[in-house]
Amino acid sequence: MKFENSKYSKLLEYKKIDFPFGTIYSTKHFVISELNEGIHVDHSVASELITRFTEDIRKGIRVGYIANRVNSYSFEPQLWLDFNNEYDFLIATAIVSYNDFSYLNSTLEKHFFSKSLKRCRSLDEAIEWMTQLDEFKKEIKK
């Protein structure tokens, strides 16, 4: 399910940001990505995302990240190691997989990410988990 079709798009205040490779929905505490079919997420895609959020990162804002994988695309797991070493703005990550292959890939990615990474079968599950993190649950009202 796409974020804009979910109940959360009506409950959460968010900003929609379109990129050539997909769409990002930025809320107060987490971002949700919905990337385009067939793209390859590499350093150039990650750099474009980081550049867009550089000001927030400089301000010390920490967020969660939900990869809502409604489309099939490839991802370099090495990017998680780079994030671990270069950035400290991600509190946790949830990967929403809609098929078994994507779920297996997220299992591989989990080994590269040093923080909490939850594999989910629905966007609802990912958002519920994210909103229950200690860092956020005091501020988010449903």
Q: For 90-136, how does the pLDDT look when each residue is reduced to its tens digit (9 = 90+)?
A: 889 999 999 888 888 887 777 777 778 899 999 999 999 999 998 77
What domains are defined for the chain?
3-131 (3.30.750)
Q: Is 60 left (phi over 0), alpha (psi -120 to 50) or beta?
A: left
- Indicate the pTM of the whole model: 0.87
Q: For 70-84, how does the pLDDT look when each residue is reduced to its tens digit (9 = 90+)?
A: 999 988 877 877 766
How far lies 139's CA from each of 28, 89, 93, in Å? 10, 18, 19
CA–CA dist 79, 11 (Å, integer): 31
